[in-house]
Amino acid sequence: MAERKSTTWDAAGVRVWLDARIAAARADQVVAERGGRARQDDCDQANAEEMVCTLLRKAVTDDPATFTAAVQVLLDRDEHIWRGVYDDTRFDRHVRTHLRKLARMAKTGTGFDRTGHYQ
C-alpha cells in the first residue's frame, strides 16, 4: 500500500520547489534557443514557467491563502508580458496552464516535494 503524503502547507518546501522550477525553466530555454525556429514553442513554454515561478516566489508565506490569492491575481490578468517571447498567444496559454497547475497544487498541498528537472 502506498504511503500517504502530508498535505500540510510547507512554505519553505514551496520556495525550494519554485527555485528548482526556475532553474529548470532557464535550462530548457537554453536548449530551446539552440533548437532554432522549430523549438520556439518550447522556449515560450519555458519562459512562461519561469515567469510564473518568479512572480509567485515573493507570494509564498506561511498562509496558503496568500499564495492562492496571488495565483488568482495572475490568472485574472488579460495578458502577460515577459522577455524573450516568440508568440504572445501561445505564451499566454502556457502561463495560464502553469498557473492552473499551481492553483491545483496549492489547493491539495501536494506536488511541491517533486523537485526534479522533469515533472
pTM (two decimals): 0.87
What pLDDT, in 10s, does the model give residues 27-42?
A: 999 999 999 999 999 9
pLDDT computed for residue 7 by the predictor:
67
pLDDT computed for residue 5 by the predictor:
54
Length of the chain: 119
pLDDT computed for residue 6 by the predictor:
54
pLDDT computed for residue 4 by the predictor:
47
What pLDDT, in 10s, does the model give residues 52-84?
A: 999 999 999 888 999 999 999 999 998 888 888
Give the mean pLDDT of the chain.
90
First to last CA, the chain: 23
pLDDT computed for residue 2 by the predictor:
46
Report the alpha-carbon distance of residue 39 to residue 48 in Å, rounded.
Answer: 14
Q: What is the dihedral of CA 11, 116, 93, 29, to 10 degrees?
A: 120
Q: Are 31 and 24 in contact (CB under 8 A)?
A: no
Domain-by-domain residue ranges, the chain?
11-108
